Amino acid sequence: MDEFDLIHSITPPTLHHSSVDVGIGDDAAVYTANRGVQEIVCVDTMVEDVHFKLDYSSPQDIGYKALAVNISDIAAMGGFPKFYLVSIAVPTTWQASDVRAMYEGMNELAKLYQMDLIGGDSVSTSDKLVVTVTVIGEVEQGRACLRSSAKPNDIVFVTGELGCSAAGLSLLLEEFSPPVSIETAHFIKRHKRPEPRVMAGRLCSAFERVALNDISDGLASELNEIAEASSVTIEIEESLLPVRQDLSKLHPQWQKWALFGGEDFELTGTISNLEWDLLKEQCKKLCIPIKQIGVVIENTGSSVILNTGSQRMALEKKGYNHFR
C-alpha cells in the first residue's frame, strides 16, 4: 500500500454532518460553521513506548485511545465532538492491515459520536509509531466549561472511578503480581479503552458556571490546574474518593494511582453548591456516576488540600509530565 492507497482505504463513504463541504480528497477540508456556537479544537500526540507498547496494545486499541483522549478534551469543555483529523508516522515494519486496523479502532469510537474523519497526513518512518489526532467540536456560545470558573463554597466533584487506568498500566507492565482472587480485566480495559464523558460534560455546560478538567495527568494535577486558574484553594476528602472496591485489594499503592496515576479520562470540576443537587440528579437519570469529593474553601492562593482524616496536607501538582 502506498500513501494514496491508504487515503483511499480510510476515506469514509458517507458523512454524518452535512456541514462538511469538502472532505478528504483536496488539499484541505472545508466545512460551514454553525451560528450560535463556538468551535473547540484540541490535539494530542501518542508515541510508541511512551504512551503505549505494541507488546500489549493492538493497532485497534491504539487507534481507539488516540481518538478517545481528544474526545475527552472536548468533553471537558462541555462540548460535543464533530470532526477529526489524523497524522501518522508509520514504521516501515508495519503492514497495511495494521494501519487499517488502527483506523478501524478510531472509527469504532467515531461512529458512537457521529464524528467525521475529514483529513490528516501520513508519512513513513524508520523509528517508532507516532499518532497525532486533532478533534474539532462545538459548544453553545458562552457555555464552555473553563478551569477559571471555580469560586468559594463550590462543590468539587468527579465522575466515575479513579486509579483504574494506572492500575491497568501497572498490570500490563507486569510491575507486580496481582492476588489470584482479583479480576484484572476491568483495569486493563480502562487503560486501553477509556470512555470519554461527553454526556457529563454536556450536562455541565447547561449550568451557569462549572469549572471542568479531564483527568489525563492525574486528579492532583487537574485540581491544581483549576485552583491555579481560578485563584482558589480546594479541599478534598480522601474518604470520598470514588475507587473500585478491588483497587484497594490489588496493591498497597492504590491511593497513589487514584491521586496521581492519570489517564482515567474522567471529569473533575466544581459547581455552585446551589446547583449541585440538580447536576447530580441529571447524572443519575443518565446512569452517569458522579460524586462530591470536596469543596472550594478560599479565593486566595491556588492550592489543593487533601484531608486524610488524621491530617490536612497539600496535594502537590504531581502526575504524568513529559518533561520531568
Is 103 annotated among the ligand-binding residues?
Answer: yes
Query: How close are the terminal C-alpha atoms of the chain, in Å?
Result: 39
Is 8 annotated among the ligand-binding residues?
Answer: no
Q: How far is CA 302 from the centre of its chain?
A: 24
Q: Which residues contact 237 (CB under 8 A, 6 or more apart)?
A: 293, 294, 307, 309
Q: Which residues contact 143 (CB under 8 A, 6 or more apart)?
A: 78, 205, 206
Retrieve residue 198's grid coordinates: 461527553
Is 27 annotated among the ligand-binding residues?
Answer: yes
CB 136 within 8 A of CB 84: yes
Is 217 annotated among the ligand-binding residues?
Answer: yes
Is 147 annotated among the ligand-binding residues?
Answer: yes
Is 244 annotated among the ligand-binding residues?
Answer: no
Sign of the CA dihedral 232, 313, 306, 316? positive
**Phi/psi of residue 68, nearest 5 degrees:** -60, -40
HEC string for 165-196: HHHHHHHHCCCCCCCCCCCCHHHHHHHHCCCC
Burial class (CB in 10 A: 0-12, 13-18, 19+), 284: exposed
Closest CA to 45 of 166, 165, 129: 129
Burial class (CB in 10 A: 0-12, 13-18, 19+), 206: middle
**Phi/psi of residue 113, nearest 5 degrees:** -105, 10
Closest CA to 120 of 129, 110, 111, 133: 133
Is 263 annotated among the ligand-binding residues?
Answer: yes
Is 214 annotated among the ligand-binding residues?
Answer: yes
Cα-based distances in Å from 288 to 90, 137, 257, 261: 37, 21, 22, 22
Known binding residues for substrate are 51, 263, 320
Known binding residues for ATP are 103, 120-121, 147, 216
Known binding residues for Mg(2+) are 27, 44, 73, 121, 214, 217
Known binding residues are 27, 44, 51, 73, 103, 120-121, 147, 214, 216-217, 263, 320
